[in-house]
Amino acid sequence: MKLHHPNPEEAYLGLRAMKMVAEREGRLTPAARHLLTAAQSHILHTDYELDTLPPITPGQLAEGFTRPELREQFVQGMVVVSLADDVPTPTQIQRMEQFAQALEVTQPAVQNIKFLTEKNSLLFRLDFMRRSHLRSMVADQFENQGFLGVVKGFLGLKGLLEEPELAAKYHRLQDLPMTTLGYQLWHHYHTNGFAFPGERYGFPEAAVYHDLFHVLGGYDTTIAGEIQVASFIAGFRRSYPLYLLMFVMLQFSAGVKVVPIETAPTQSVLATPGLADLLFQALERGTHVNTDLSEGWDFWPDLVQPLDKVREKFNILAISPN
């Protein structure tokens, strides 16, 4: 994902439109307010008082936006902010559609979350799955292990199958030097009490990169850590990166369960002060990574390397102190 920074006039126009999409019943919720404030700090580089921003028509927005890549990014931002608290309202969907049409942007995610608003959960899930990172995980599992590997991965995740040889391969990582990525991955599983791949409820191998980026990124497994690691991956992902941000917003802010494991979704988590800033910081950090490691990464040769060397190899920068 490449982040585009608008000029001051574009930022002002775009923020007015984003506020209109974010509003529920004519007001900004705390989560939406934090999200827009963080967007001003990290993307727009503005400092407007949100409550004083006037509305804007789709035509006025389109007139001030001439760069196609900026138009696309702002529509993506509208999708994200519409999920700050719950499933978008019909008014929010209508405003997004009007702005997207005026900007001549066809963004599948708008229709995808519209299915939720229309209470058509089946169409939402089918549409979401075919563009999300979950589809990529299944495709990668199939490419490397065939159809049987996909079935085994699913059954293992559900706790219905064990693969002792696979689990043993990951447990042997504890024999590596403590400074290596492989040992730190083993430590991540062990200290958090997570099942290893091959054990009941363990991740399929195609999903291990998620845990690797907890380690490489230095993110914990709290809700804040999960939001950051997903945003970080979205930063370097080339295929539908928006859907990773949607995944975060749906699961943790809109209260829509999208993870394939037993866990309760939450709502309005970005109302927590500072969390929206962490989201944007992780996203921007991910844009500096020089390789899309979310699809097709053979990580085994890197597991025996020192953690710092792997970070250097992929240009994973230190977490900003700000």
Does position 263 have pLDDT exceeding 50, yes or no? yes
Question: What does the pLDDT look like over 90-103, one tens digit per residue?
Answer: 999 999 999 999 99
What is the pLDDT of the chain when averaged over all its residues? 89
Report if residue 254 sits inside a domain.
no
As a whole number of angstroms, the distance between CA 10 and CA 60 comes to 11
Report if residue 181 sits inside a domain.
yes
Q: 106: domain range?
A: 8-123
Confidence (pLDDT) at 142 = 44
As a whole number of angstroms, the distance between CA 249 and CA 84 comes to 7
Does position 25 have pLDDT exceeding 50, yes or no? yes
Does position 261 have pLDDT exceeding 70, yes or no? no
Query: By three-state DSSP, how is residue 267 classified?
Result: strand
Query: What is the rounded average pLDDT of the residues 226-249?
Result: 92
Question: What does the pLDDT look like over 276-287, one tens digit per residue?
Answer: 999 999 999 999
User: Is residue 224 located within the same domain as residue 295?
Assistant: yes
As a whole number of angstroms, the distance between CA 39 and CA 36 comes to 5
Confidence (pLDDT) at 228 = 96
User: Is residue 295 located within the same domain as residue 181?
Assistant: yes
User: Is residue 206 located within the same domain as residue 97?
Assistant: no
Confidence (pLDDT) at 245 = 92
User: Is residue 192 located within the same domain as residue 61?
Assistant: no
User: Is residue 13 located within the same domain as residue 139?
Assistant: no
CA torsion 91→95→96→97, rounded to 10°?
Answer: 100
User: Is residue 141 located within the same domain as residue 223?
Assistant: yes
Report if residue 229 sits inside a domain.
yes
User: Is residue 301 located within the same domain as residue 205?
Assistant: yes
Report if residue 162 sits inside a domain.
yes
Report if residue 260 sits inside a domain.
no
CATH code, domain with 77: 1.10.3680
> Are the CB atoms for 307 and 181 separated by under 8 Å?
yes
Report if residue 272 sits inside a domain.
no
Phi-psi group of 228: left, alpha or beta (phi > 0 → left; psi -120 to 50 → alpha; rest → beta): alpha
Report if residue 2 sits inside a domain.
no
Determine which of 29-33, 228-232, 263-267 has the lowest per-residue pLDDT on average: 263-267
User: Is residue 69 located within the same domain as residue 200?
Assistant: no
Does position 155 have pLDDT exceeding 60, yes or no? no
User: Is residue 294 located within the same domain as residue 152?
Assistant: yes
Length of the chain: 322
Query: What is the rounded average pLDDT of the residues 141-153?
Result: 56
Does position 80 have pLDDT exceeding 70, yes or no? yes
Domain count for the chain, please give it. Answer: 2
Domain boundary among 62, 90, 123: 123
User: Is residue 64 located within the same domain as residue 137?
Assistant: no
Domain boundary among 123, 148, 173: 123
Structural tokens at position 11? 């930022």
User: Is residue 76 located within the same domain as residue 194?
Assistant: no
Name the pTM for this structure: 0.88
Q: How far is CA 127 from the centre of its chain?
A: 17
Does position 140 have pLDDT exceeding 80, yes or no? no
Domain boundary among 90, 123, 156: 123
Does position 194 have pLDDT exceeding 60, yes or no? yes
User: Is residue 73 located within the same domain as residue 119?
Assistant: yes
Report if residue 164 sits inside a domain.
yes
